Amino acid sequence: MTDIPTVAAIVFAVVTSAVVMFQVALVAGAPWGEMALGGKYPGVLPPHIRIVEVIQIMLLDAMMVVVLCRAGLILPDFRPLTDELIWVAAAISSVSFILNTITPSRKERMLWSPAALLMAITSLTVALMT
């Protein structure tokens, strides 16, 4: 039987991977700017703004590693390092949910609020149950 933190970590990783793929597409020039950054840059993001997306990709990947490690799915030797970092990941996910619900871009709100809510719930589940 699979335990709840394991399932939560896997769901977090799947949702985060989808978000990362979207961010990679934006960096590569996909014309989806209206669904990111409050819709401030419709169409293809300007090159200087793509740097923000690269930073976000790195942050999301780091959060995914922290959640998976904390749940005991990867890198068991590094689990003690996640004692505090899991709370950082949960806090960022929770703030992201709030920001995605108040973004001026309706498309961004409709697409990313559910994803951010799942990320917040699953990261908090791992934080509280491990």
User: In this predicted structure, what is the pLDDT of residue 2?
Assistant: 72
Q: CA 104 to CA 56: how far, in whole Å?
A: 20
118: helix, coil or strand? Answer: helix
| Cα 107 to Cα 95: distance, rounded to the nearest angstrom | 19
Burial of 13 (0-12, 13-18, 19+ CB in 10 A): buried
The pLDDT score that the predictor gives to residue 47 is 95
| pLDDT, averaged across the chain | 97
pTM of the model: 0.94
pLDDT of residue 4: 97
Percent share of the chain, pLDDT over 90: 98
Reported as a single tens digit per residue, the pLDDT across 29-80 is 999 999 999 999 999 999 999 999 999 999 999 999 999 999 999 999 999 9
The predicted structure's pLDDT at residue 1: 54
